Structure 1
Amino acid sequence: MRILLIEDDRTLCDEIKERLTSWSYQVFTIDDFSKVMETFTETKPELIIIDIQLPKFDGFHWCRLIRDHSSVPIIFLSSRDHPTDMVMSMQLGADDYIEKPFNFDVLIAKIQAILRRVYRYSTETSQLRTWLGATIDLEKNEISYKDHKIELTKNEAFILNLLLENRNKIVTRDALIEALWDDSRFISDNTLTVNVNRLRKKLAEIALGHYIKTMVGQGYLALDEDRDHA
């Protein structure tokens, strides 16, 4: 698996690269921080690790640009202790957020969980689902309805697919967290809320947002009924 590491602290960058290489990952780093997109295009990574504070432009800027072209998993690193940074990263489509200083075992566990979830899930499940007249392409992470096409992040597609596998049944928050990140100890409960809200907002573009229901104190469910009679 190819990992693009976007980190300007050379000492930390070298240490992360050494650790990841020892786990048999192929790691690419950035020399010119004005050419992040060029490096991304050339290396075609399966996962990106990106710091928030960078020369030229911050990590949020590059995340926006990458998300315009790809749904590749993204993990943010940050030395800033601001909850708004985590919320912002999730809203931009990041898959996880790690505060510095961090334990390398935790970083490795998160990387393994994301890669296992994203790429094993992509190859082992049916790639197309239909729901209330819409078609969900799990390979492309897209929803199509009439002339509309909506792009989802891998997290959003995974959440929607899990809810649709249990249509009209409540999927608990704990079950979603466990399925998404394999080990809920590494994940903030707020991260799930952000992902679901972002998914619901996208679904609202094709009048499906209100078919994802929040069951207070329990979890979420996807309704499966005629939209004209909902």
Structure 2
Amino acid sequence: MAEGHRRILVVEDEPAIAESVAARLRAEGYEVDIAADGPSAVRQAVETAPDLIVLDLMLPGFDGLEVCRRVQAHRPVPVLMLTARDDETDLLVGLAVGADDYITKPFSIRELAARVHALLRRVDRNTQQAAAKIVLGDLEIDPVERRVHRAGEPAHLTPTEFELLVHLAGRPRAVVPRDRLLTEVWGWNESASTRTVDSHIKALRRKLGADLIRTVHGVGYALEVPR
């Protein structure tokens, strides 16, 4: 069961899917709101400040990618993206604009609920483990306030981007395998979605500089200590 009164926004234009997802999540103890198009999704996200958004990629008004961009620019929030096809371009773009995880239709409601639980547990765990500031060269990370600066300039990171950066910064220069990142950051026990890791690494490089994270081909990534 869900702890506390967590609020989830389900954004889905197919009423049958939206209602079945909402019913399962309510049965798990969550408060659930539903939006059926892009503009109303952004409006509700701003007004209700959900703890997590289940977001369909294809929507009327404007699509889920634009919803994700606008919501993340207003306030970082975990996003589970729904996509009707396993199109790698769509998935990578979705992850790049701030989605934390994705699930491909058709999906089981049980699996979706498990992904929601995992995302919220991860946010809770990292909040509880918040510690002193991390300073590596010109990179400064504040786990308590969840702020990141490089060379004095602030960087706007999504929840998962922040957690991935903190994880790599905890062992600077050490190479962390993709599978281990999936397990320790995402809480996944399988390695089928290593492109999720790759996409978030690309986002961190775009926001903090290409020199920050080194790729070790066929293995994983290491955070280089910036000068």
TM-score with structure 2 length normalisation? 0.90
- The amino acid that maps onto 2:119 is I
What is the root-mean-square deviation in Å for CA atoms of aligned residues?
1.9
Question: What whole-Å deviation, never above 9, does each CA across 1:106-161 have from its counterpart, x for those lacking one?
Answer: 11121111111112212322153212133212344432234411111111111111
1:215 aligns with 2:216: yes
1:42 pairs with one of 29, 44, 47: 47
- How far apart are residue 187 of structure 1 and its match? 5.2
Matching residue within 127, 135, 152 for 2:140: 135
Partner of 1:120: 125
Measure, in 2, the Cα distance between the counterparts of 1:44 and 1:185.
31
Task: For residues 175-194 of structure 1, give each alpha carbon's deviation from its aligned partner in whole angstroms, at most 9, with x where no partner exists.
Answer: 10101221233851111111
Letter in 1 for 2:26: T
Give the number of equivalent residue pairs: 222
Q: Which residue of 1 aligns with 2:108?
A: 103
- Is the 1:47–1:72 contact (alpha carbons within 8 Å) kept by the matching residues of 2? yes
Query: Partner residue of 1:62?
Result: 67
1:145–1:224 Cα change, 3 Å: closer
What's the counterpart of residue 160 of structure 1? 165
CA distance in 2, matches of 1:33, 1:218: 38
Shift of 1:31: 5.9
CA contact (8 A) 1:143 1:150 kept: yes
**SS in structure 1 at match of 2:24:** helix
State how 1:138-217 maps to structure 2 within 5 Å: 138-185=143-190, 188-204=193-209, 209-217=210-218
CA distance in structure 2 between the partners assigned to 1:162 and 1:32 by the alignment: 35
Work out whether residues 175 and 222 of structure 2, in 8 Å CA contact, stay in contact via their aligned partners in 1. Answer: yes
Q: Which residue number in structure 2 is paired with residue 23 of structure 1?
A: 28
Distance 1:69 1:34 in 2: 14
Given that 1:5 and 1:29 are in contact with CA atoms closer than 8 Å, whether structure 2 keeps it comes out as yes
Distance 1:56 1:2, change over 3 A: same
Residue matched to 2:3 = none
Report the CA distance shift for 1:140/1:88 in structure 2 as closer, same or farther (over 3 A): farther
Other structure's SS at 1:27 match: strand
The whole-number CA distance in structure 1 between the counterparts of 2:186 and 2:39 is 32
8 Å Cα contact 1:110/1:181 also seen in 2: no
8 Å CA contact 2:57–2:81 kept in 1: the answer is: yes
- Which secondary structure does the structure 2 equivalent of 1:183 belong to? coil
Q: Which amino acid aligns with 2:167?
A: L
3-state SS in 1 of match to 2:211? helix
Q: Distance in 1 between matches of 2:60 and 2:225?
A: 48
Q: Could you state the TM-score of these two structures normalised by the residue count of structure 1?
A: 0.89
Alignment of 1:4-23 (within 5 A): 4-23=9-28
Report the residue type matching 2:149 in the other structure.
S
Q: Identity of paired residues, percent?
A: 32
* Residue aligned with 1:35, SS: helix
